[in-house]
Structure 1
């Protein structure tokens, strides 16, 4: 029997029309919402249900959003407190701050 760490994490899905990144973990939907403002990706909300908290899911969603912004050549405005704290802790994303 494998442990939870042995499993491949569920995919993060980008729904550009809804301006949202999602992942479904054990039947619970975790989300990162954003909007575009003046050419910048504004991260407005990150939500992970308590039932699946503490597994790094918000970080995975945030990394996916930041990778998308980088690929798009966009600046990022982290209005969500989680995203702001994440970007402060991970200096490799400092170039995206707008």
Structure 2
């Protein structure tokens, strides 16, 4: 192999198998604008509505519906779900749906 070929081989990044990528943390400004007290209050209300009232079972229940029920907007809702639960709204509902399905199967 020539020096030019060696240099090219070193410069090209190695491909990861199965097209896997590292998860990038996004820094959205609106997440830090929400007051911690409000975030805690919304977190508790979200848990109450989604888990206790079992709204995750309703396939038509959207983030917009939840925001309306909480008397807030979807941006705040999204910020709280993302920062407190570490996932987006759809993943949150799906997590509880999967847990419920596992419970029914056992």
TM-score, normalized by length of structure 2? 0.32
Give the number of the structure whose alpha-carbon radius of gyration is greater: 2
Higher relative helix content: 2
Higher relative contact order structure (alpha carbons within 8 Å, sequence separation ≥ 6)? 2
TM-score, normalized by length of structure 1? 0.34
Higher relative strand content: 1
